[in-house]
Structure 1
Amino acid sequence: MICKELHFTRAAEKLGISQPTLSHQIKMLEQEVGYPLFNRVGKKIELTKVGEIVQQEALNIKGSLQSMSSQIEAFTKVEIGELKIAVLPGEITDLVSTLCIQFNQLYPNINVSILTTDQVEKAVLENRADFGISFQLNQCDRLQVTKLYDEEFYLISNQRNEEDRVSFSTVLELPLILFPNMHQCRKILDIASKEVGKQLHPIVETSSIQSILNLVRSGVGRSVVSRTLYEFYDTGDLFFQHIEKPVLTKEVYLVMKKNCFINYAARKYITLLVREIEKLHFPTEKDAITSIQSSLL
């Protein structure tokens, strides 16, 4: 207040204390610091260089105290605010979006923003997201990365097959309805096809999972989709086969900043996500899931 008013009497009035009391407190602070904080020129005062340092550190302390109070409040009971999630384009976006329906029913006062980006880690590091979910990872010492589950990709059709497995080379010979090549699932297929020396030639490309499922239902062709999409959409009338030689899988990771406070909304959403993964019996690493659950307590 003295730095703002540059006048002891006015500062004391604003603080609701006497001027001698305020002067005494400043004198004690100067004795502790070992240097004068103000130059007194008649009735006017100005900050010394040491005073400027003390002022800045005092502001930092004030900010830390405010942050501590807000974090404790968010940690214990706040059910309002915003949750920001960074996800890769594709099936993970569908997973996160579908869970938002359930999350909104439980926490209607929390707004959820989903950032679809190829740079999930960067979004988390720049605080544009509270956490991220990603396939691709670049090692970074500032990030805490935990494996959620293994994502498998299925061949789906409208007819039951005698064999529950099919080779990837056979898949490539079929009429396929696929996502466009910017989709993560399609990128995995493109890479796998190049590795076996072939190229994908889908008969239909669409970014709509509902369109893909409807086209498969009508017998136009077959498709390759992630287990996540197969489980989260109405696919009771469709049939799937595991793909092998090679097996098409991707590891799905939860990405957060190290030693960073996990706010109320993020903790509740991640808890919901882990519960859904376990309910669907996705392949998980028990230690990793236990680690996530412990960090949310």
Structure 2
Amino acid sequence: MVSKELHFTKAAEKLRISQPTLSHQIKMFEQEIGYPLLNRIGKKIELTKVGEIVQHEALNIQNSLQSISSQIKAVKKVEIGELKIAVLPGEITDLVSTLCIKFNQLYPNINVFIQSTDQVEKAILENQADFGIGFEFNRYNMLHMTKLYDEEFYLISNQSNGEQKVSCSAALDSSLILFPNMHQCRKMLDKMSIEVGRQLEPIVETSSIESILKLVRNGVGSSVVSRTLYEFFDTEDLFFQRIEKPFLTRAVYLGMKKNSFINYPARKFIKLLVDEIERLGFDTEKDAIASLQSSIL
């Protein structure tokens, strides 16, 4: 706590002990280690190099203790506890949130916390999430990645022109109703519009998929949506055209911290997720999915 707060009084308050008691414990710890853990410059505190090593190892010990507890619960198959999932804002959040309905029916005593964040990777590495789902991860050496499926994108409208496909340029030239530019789907469309030399100017922007579908139904314009979205919403009355030249796709990954234990709630949710992906017939990598399934049994 001292290494987190870098302030003895604040750390003592968080620990609910007196400041002199905390200072004495740190001093005793330094004597046992044989090196100073903190540099005290007036009221300012900073970790020494030895202090940084101790802090790192202490966090490892804390994670190990949490892992022991999780493994014991998994062995006993105790269907209680909590599950923390980090997902990118947008379609993936909708997918995970929808699956929570079935998960809650199966495991009503497990609390699920969905963190919608642009920093999925950070949430996993800092143990804020049991696993995360996103499109791009950088620190592969610290994460175990599984490609879940390739996401396809479609132009949707309330009338059919008889064509099952549409070029990317033609799709972007349509009167479009889109998510705001903070949305992952929109970011991809903005990038694609630059690559094909088009200026993307939607006639309506909204963060609500329900509003987008309602506007399309009423003929206000067309929209570009992922297969994930139209699979999980009532879209049978709308017409879809797959976007090509180039094909508009992206890979969806599941990420977990390497060498970390997969707790019971996470195992059950991942199995539910994989079953749903396969049921919907998404374009998956069979070997990757099989490896993931074997690791969570």
Q: TM-score, normalised by structure 1?
A: 0.78
Residue number in structure 2 paired with 1:154: 154
Distance, in Å, in 1 between the alignment partners of 2:71 and 2:183 is 37
Letter in 2 for 1:94: D
Aligned counterpart, 1:240: 240
- Counterpart position of 1:200: 200
Partner of 1:278: 278
Q: Note the residue ranges of structure 2 that are not aligned, 5 or more in a row.
A: 1-27, 34-59
Q: Give the 3-state SS of the residue equivalent to 1:251 in structure 2.
A: strand
Q: Is the 8 A contact 2:70 2:264 kept in 1?
A: no
Q: Identity, % of aligned pairs?
A: 74
**Equivalent residue number for residue 134 of structure 1:** 134
- Ranges in structure 1 where 5+ consecutive residues have no aligned partner: 1-47, 54-59
Q: Provide closer, same or farther for how the CA distance between residues 264 and 63 of structure 1 changes in structure 2, counting only shifts above 3 A.
A: closer
2:205 and 2:268 map into 1 onto residues whose CA distance is: 36
**Structure 2 match to 1:296:** 296
Q: What CA RMSD, in Å, does the superposition of the two structures yield over aligned residues?
A: 2.4
How far apart in 2 are the matches of 1:145 and 1:216? 36
Q: Which residue of 2 aligns with 1:231?
A: 231
Preserved contact between residue 165 and residue 241 of structure 1 (Cα < 8 Å): yes
For 1:74-102, what per-residue CA distance to the aligned partner results, in whole angstroms no more than 9, with x for missing partners? Answer: 34411111110000111111111111111
Deviation at 1:172, TM superposition (A): 1.8
1:1-297 paired onto structure 2 within 5 Å:
68=68, 70-297=70-297
* Larger Rg belongs to: 1
TM-score by length of 2: 0.78
Report how far residue 296 of structure 1 moved. 0.5
Name the CA distance, whole Å, in 2 between partners of 1:81 and 1:66.
Answer: 13
- Contact kept in structure 2, 1:75 and 1:263, CA below 8 Å: no
Distance 2:209 2:289 in 1: 29
CA distance in 1, matches of 2:241, 2:214: 18
Q: Is the CA contact (8 Å cut-off) linking 2:152 and 2:226 kept in structure 1?
A: yes
8 A contact 1:192–1:246 mirrored in 2? no
Task: Tell me the CA shift for residue 118 of structure 1.
Answer: 0.9
Q: Does the 8 A contact of 2:174 with 2:222 survive in 1?
A: yes
Counterparts of 1:208 and 1:69, CA distance in 2: 40
Amino acid at match of 2:167: S
| Inter-partner Cα distance in structure 2 for 1:65 and 1:205 | 47
The one-letter amino acid of 1:228's match is: T
> How many residues are paired up?
245
Amino acid at match of 2:166: V
**Helix, strand or coil at the partner of 1:138:** coil
1:177 alignment partner AA: I
